[in-house]
Amino acid sequence: MKQRLQSFVILSSLTAIVIHIINRIYHSFHTAGNYLRYPKNNYYEWRFGKIRYTKKGTGSPILLIHDLKAGSSVYEFNKIINALSKDHEVYCIDLLGYGMSDKPNMTYTNYLYVQLVIDFIKNVICKKVDIIATGDSVSITVMACHNDPEVIDKMLFINPQNLYESNQIPSKQTKTFKLLLDTPIIGTFTYNLLTNKSSLEKVFKEEYFYNPLNIEERDILAYLESSHLPEYTSKYVYSSHIGKYMNANIVHALKEINHSIYIIGGDKESDIHTTIENYKYYNSAIESMCIPYTKHLPHLEAPDKTIKCILLFLS
């Protein structure tokens, strides 16, 4: 019995060492492309870590806030920044836990990001700003506007999260899964399996883009790099997102805010027309437009059409 126990301990230790080595090799291999590094990176020293952002152009300020999915970062907006910066001062931010911002081991919540957005506007932009937000980050923008309406002017949402999903709270299942992902070796290995190149390619083809032929290899590689830079620390924000900790019931805030809101939807995005109607139900002043033959990321799939919609709203 004692010999069996010793053999089990030795085998378990060797397995852990092998998995750890695989994890290190995996991260090194997928973060060597430098797709997220820009010539002029800036960093905002926030109380929970350094926040990477880019700034380009002059004019009235616009803050771009990426989605909260695995691999999201400022890269999401790289095809529309130049056009926007011709007449605007464009800020693009890597939220805490994403891209090249710090990724501390913590639980990431909607309120955490609301505070980050408000602090960033007050301490970096230093004036009232228009915001363009994608997907799940729309709830952050709505709550930030509700908490501090004086720092935000117009808001444009690209394929916002539907109100039913944003209202979901952590369950026993999601809490358990978060706990698993947050563990050192096995959790990291599980995270690597869920965010490898094949899985990201599948997401791009099935959810992000309507036409797979429009997907560029560098798009997938940029998301892959963002989800594994540096090493394993991106898993903490991923586990919080999967665990529903970033959600918030925004219905009350949506009813009360008195700002210009415009929604851009990908015409082929799942349930987008119902989602838009639900937003309008709680705030009848919301305007909207759908871009044909696009899904979740029209600003990557059809940047020229997206820019036209954005500039129409901002004019």
> Which pLDDT tens digit goes with each residue over 175-187?
999 999 999 888 9
Q: What is the mean pLDDT of residues 89-105?
A: 96
Terminal C-alpha separation, the chain = 77
**Beta carbons within 10 angstroms of residue 129's beta carbon:** 22
The three state secondary structure string of 80-97 is CHHHHCCCEEEEEECCCC
Whole-prediction pTM: 0.90
Strands (E) across the chain are located at 42-46, 49-56, 60-65, 88-93, 129-134, 152-158, 261-266, 287-291
Q: Which of 30-39, 85-94, 287-296 has the lowest mean pLDDT?
A: 30-39
Strand 152-158 and strand 261-266: the pairing is: parallel
| In the predicted structure, residue 20 carries a pLDDT above the cut 60 | no
Task: Report CA Rg, the chain.
Answer: 20
| In the predicted structure, residue 11 carries a pLDDT above the cut 60 | no
Give the pLDDT score at 282: 96
Residues in contact with 39: Cβ distance below 8 Å, sequence separation at least 6, in sequence order: none
CA separation (Å) from 246 to 53, 169, 272, 283? 21, 9, 21, 22
Give the pLDDT score at 231: 72
Block residue for tokens 């119902």: 274
Residues in contact with 178: Cβ distance below 8 Å, sequence separation at least 6, in sequence order: 107, 170, 239, 240, 242, 243, 245
Give the pLDDT score at 41: 84
**158-173 residue pLDDT tens:** 999 999 999 999 999 9
Q: What is the mean pLDDT of residues 284-308?
A: 96
